Structures are given as structure tokens and as C-alpha cells.
Structure 1
Amino acid sequence: MARVTVGVSLKAYFGRRAARIWFCRVAEIVREHPGVRAGDVEVIVIPSYLQIEDALGTFSGTAVRLGVQDVSAHEPGAYTGEITAAELAESGIRFAEVGHAERRRQFGETDEVVTAKTAAALRHGVTPVLCIGEAERQDAGAAAETTLAQLRTHLVGAPAGRVVVAYEPVWAIGAPEPAPVAHIAVVTRALRAALEGDPVRSGSTVIYGGSAGPGLLTRLADDVDGLFLGRFAHDPDALASVLDEAAALIAHPAEAR
């Protein structure tokens, strides 16, 4: 493993004042963190749209890379309320979360919509953080087939470029515990193999989300490229502990097994 990716989505939990406080504390952490400074740990922060300007200012000069929680499937035009990938790229935003289970369930996003958003992001050099995962608990082999089918659906005909695939089994989101390590490993290995076999997806990574927290990254070791954190990372010190874990995994990979 050459690098570990740690993503954080703030969803709509923070108002702007709370987000500014969080940004400042996290900026202090990453400026001093040796793993982040060395490039061994990639940090992606995904705030709300109204928090983007604050985040851009606070994280300026750090290695933190910013994303948004949604992106339009359309090119610039008469689409009231939409934020296009073209505007994201112009604004210095390099990641866009696409297809989260909440968007699918609460806002009716279909596979067709998620596929169109993925393609729109890639057309403008914005890396999709593509969320996929089985809705109901299945055995690991069936879950791998389900997620591979989702991956193929969302990337068919999409422009070349890196994709961050966030494996988030829907039944594990907000649960007391993440999915079992053995289950996650079967799915993430299959997703990795599919991406590695696609020459236009060079540099793509597979991260796990769904009640992810401390210790999970070490237990997964080289079966995953990182974690996608939710409420656990609302405490900056908790996020720092995962960054430490990620850096240790790079420095001492043999000890993770």
C-alpha cells in the first residue's frame, strides 16, 4: 500500500460556525501530522456547499483536499439549484461524493442518475467518491457480486480518470459496529481487482465506510485503501487517531497482520 486515503463527510450536521471551528482544529492537526505532510495519508474533507469557502480558506497551505456531497448530472445551463462539475473544477474542488445511500433512499436517485453524475464529474477532472454497497445483509460472496454490478453500471462509458470507490453496505451505515472484517475484505478485494483490470482507472482506490472507526483500518490492513468516516470524525482528536493509524500502517505494514 503506497498511500492511505481518509475521507470525512460532514453531511448536514454542522452549521457554519461549528464547521469553522472544526476546520481550524483539523487544519492544525494535518499541518503537524508527519504522515499527511509526507503524502503517505491523503485527507479528503467533504463539507456542505455553504461551508466550502470557509474550508478553502482554512485548509489553504495544507494537504487537505476538498470535496462536495453532490454534483449535477448536467453541464452548465438552465438547471435551477444545480451545482455543476464545471463550476466545482473552476472553484478548486477535486472530489464529489456520488450515489450515497441517503441520496438514493431520501431523494430517489436512481442508478441512471448516479451514473450520469459520475460521468459529469469525470468529464471535468473531478474525482467521484462513488458510494456503492448492498442494501440488505448478504454473505460476502453475494455482496461482492452486488457491488461489482453496481460498479460496472456506474462506470460504463464514463470518461477516463481516477475513482474513489466507497464501499458502504447500507445495513452498516449508522449501525453500532461496522461490517465484519472478513466480509469487507472479500468485497474490497473484488472491487480493487476490477479497478486494477481497467486501464482507464489508473490510481483508483477503494475505501470502506459504514460505522468506521478506530482499529478498523489496522484490522483490514492491505485489503482496503482507506476509510470513509462519518460522525466518528466530528471529534478532531478521533480523526487524528485514524490518521495516526493510517501512517503507522504505511510505516510498518507487516505489523498489521
Structure 2
Amino acid sequence: MTEPAPAPLPHAPIVLGVSLKLYLDVENTVQWSKAVSELARTHPAVEQGRVRLFVLPSLPALPGVRDALAGTPVGVGAQDLFWEDRGAFTGAISGADLKAIGCAYAEVGHAERRGLFGDDDEAVRRKLAAALRNGLTPILCVGETTKSDPTAAAVETAKELASAIAGLPPSASVHELIVAYEPRWAIGQAEPAAAEHVGVVILELRRRLEADSRIRSASILYGGSAQPGTLSTLAGRVNGLFLGRFAHDPGRLALILDEADALSNPEVSTR
């Protein structure tokens, strides 16, 4: 499968998400969020709506992050949720409770949840439904397990997407779905996957999403060692980035915001 030249995406804000995973303790997560709050208040890309930013802290830090980002356009979400809202489920995270404390997003199906905690396709399917049921925008993570040619990667990743949305009823109307394409072999590496590889996979994901009448709006982000420079390399292919450790330094996040601003508004020069 050969990727055609990327066409300009429909005009929409560039979407940037940041997962803090479990790298920072609660105090440092709140301090990071205060720095991001200042960025959001002063950076024209966020302030003027050219970039849409959301953050996913660890669960105990959520209230502090919510408060630190209050009054800014930065959204807050959780890195996981359970498929049931109430019941005898020790240690589970209710989507209803996430919504009640101010979350707008919930991550579903990350490779580490699959590999370390045993989330299989059925769990991902049920968690996706739980997020939608509770009015949370899902960040659905998909990506091939091992490095392969782009055509094989597109087939494997599209099957993962199809499995996750298979449980939605035919009458469903999904207001928004964010798909984060993260090839698992690229997570934690020095460099992201090659732009040509990413382009082939995302083209197939986009084709599948556009053909599904249940999904009214979908954005596709690239994750997997995304960093400064990645957005420019993938321009025209993705709607944004799902960032990990490279955005845990607010200064680096600011560089990515500059980069996004330059791409979304050609009259802007990066600072």
C-alpha cells in the first residue's frame, strides 16, 4: 500500500493531548499543571483556539490539576476507567465519578493497560462504551504490536479500531471520538515512527472512521515518542499529537505549541 501525497485536513484546531502516566507525584503534577495553565493563558495558539489542549494526570492528582487549570481552555481527563459505573468492583474507576469531578476525557486501550494490566479487546470495547455513556470523549489508543511494513500495520491497527467500536449499537451517535495511533514498538523510543509509515496507517483509520455513520466527528492523533518536530513532519496527515514524556517539561510543550501555531497560522513565526 502506497500512501498518496497528504491532502490538507479540514480546518480545525490542532489537538494536543498529554499523558503524564505515573512519572510525577501529586505535588509535581500540580506544579506542572500550573505552568501549563500559564502557557494556556498566554500562548496565542491556545488562547485563540488554534490549538486544543488536554491533559491526563494520574488519578490522585485529578482534583488538583482540575483546580490548577480552572479558567483555561485546557481539558482534563483520566488515563483509564472501568466499564461499570457502580457495583462490587474494588479499585475500579467509575466514568460517572470522573465526569462528576470535572473530567472531559477518558483514555481507553493504551498499550500499557493492555500489556501490564490485561485489558483485552472485550475490555477495551466495554470501556469505550462506558466513556461515551458518561459523556466523556474517549481517547482510543490503537497500534500494531511489532514493527512491520506499513500495509500490515494498517491492517492490524484497523482491526483493533473495528473491534473497539463493534459494541456500539447501530443507532449510536458518537459526538466525538479521538483515536490515538501509537505503534507499540515506538513507545518509549528515541524517535517516532517514520512519517510515511504513519501516513499509510492513518489513511486506513480515517477511511474506516469516515465510513461509519455512527461517528459524527473523529480526530486522529499520533503518539509513540512524539516530540518537537513530529507535528511538522506529519503535517497534513494527522489532526494532532498524543504526547508523553517529551511534554513533561513545560518548556518543551511550549515549543510544540509554537510549532502547532506556525502550522495552523502560516503568518505566525515560531518564537
TM-score over 0.5 for the pair: yes
Identity of aligned residues (%): 46
- Residue in structure 2 matched with residue 142 of structure 1 by the alignment: 152
Are the equivalent residues in 1 in contact too, given 2:143–2:156 (CA < 8 A)? yes
Matches within 5 A, 1:115-194: 115-158=125-168, 159-161=172-174, 162-194=176-208
How far apart are residue 138 of structure 1 and its match? 1.1
How far apart are residue 197 of structure 1 and its match? 2.1
Are the equivalent residues in 2 in contact too, given 1:66–1:94 (CA < 8 A)? yes
Are the equivalent residues in 1 in contact too, given 2:126–2:167 (CA < 8 A)? no
Are the equivalent residues in 2 in contact too, given 1:189–1:224 (CA < 8 A)? no
Aligned length: 254
How far apart are residue 35 of structure 1 and its match? 1.1
Is 1:60 matched up with 2:70?
yes
For 2:243 and 2:154, locate their aligned partners in 1 and report how far apart those are by CA, in whole Å. 21
Are the equivalent residues in 2 in contact too, given 1:148–1:190 (CA < 8 A)? yes
- More moved, 166-175 vs 35-44: 35-44
For 1:94 and 1:20, locate their aligned partners in 2 and report how far apart those are by CA, in whole Å. 18
- Structure 1 counterpart of 2:262, from 233, 248, 251: 248
Matches within 5 A, 1:56-95: 56-95=66-105
**Structure 2, gaps ≥5 residues long:** 1-10
- Structure 2 counterpart of 1:238, from 231, 237, 252: 252
Residue-by-residue CA offset, 1:233-253 (whole Å, 9 max, x unaligned): 111010011111112111129
How far apart are residue 199 of structure 1 and its match? 2.4
How far apart are residue 75 of structure 1 and its match? 2.5
For 1:190 and 1:31, locate their aligned partners in 2 and report how far apart those are by CA, in whole Å. 37
**Tell me, what secondary structure is at the counterpart of 2:106?**
strand
For 1:160 and 1:137, locate their aligned partners in 2 and report how far apart those are by CA, in whole Å. 34
Which TM-score applies when normalising by structure 1?
Answer: 0.95
Are the equivalent residues in 1 in contact too, given 2:177–2:219 (CA < 8 A)? yes
For 1:195 and 1:112, locate their aligned partners in 2 and report how far apart those are by CA, in whole Å. 20
Residue-by-residue CA offset, 1:99-127 (whole Å, 9 max, x unaligned): 11111111111111011100111111111
Report the AA paired with residue 134 of structure 1: E
Which 4+ stretches in 1 moved above 3 angstroms? none
Residue-by-residue CA offset, 1:184-241 (whole Å, 9 max, x unaligned): 0111121122212222212210000001111111111110000011111111010011
For 1:140 and 1:132, locate their aligned partners in 2 and report how far apart those are by CA, in whole Å. 14
Are the equivalent residues in 1 in contact too, given 2:63–2:101 (CA < 8 A)? no
Are the equivalent residues in 2 in contact too, given 1:122–1:160 (CA < 8 A)? no
- Structure 2 counterpart of 1:223, from 232, 237, 243: 237
Are the equivalent residues in 2 in contact too, given 1:168–1:209 (CA < 8 A)? yes
Which TM-score applies when normalising by structure 2?
Answer: 0.91
For 1:39 and 1:195, locate their aligned partners in 2 and report how far apart those are by CA, in whole Å. 25
- Structure 1 counterpart of 2:55, from 32, 45, 60: 45
- Name the structure with the higher helix share: 1
**Tell me, what secondary structure is at the counterpart of 2:119?**
coil
Residue-by-residue CA offset, 1:36-80 (whole Å, 9 max, x unaligned): 112111101000111111011110000100010100011212212
- More moved, 196-205 vs 40-49: 196-205
Are the equivalent residues in 1 in contact too, given 2:125–2:167 (CA < 8 A)? no
Residue-by-residue CA offset, 1:157-196 (whole Å, 9 max, x unaligned): 3243211100000000011110001000111121122212
**Structure 1, gaps ≥5 residues long:** none
**Tell me, what secondary structure is at the counterpart of 1:201?**
coil
Report the AA paired with residue 137 of structure 2: T
Q: CA RMSD in A?
A: 1.4
Report the AA paired with residue 132 of structure 2: L
Is 1:112 matched up with 2:125?
no
For 1:77 and 1:90, locate their aligned partners in 2 and report how far apart those are by CA, in whole Å. 17
**Tell me, what secondary structure is at the counterpart of 2:65?**
helix
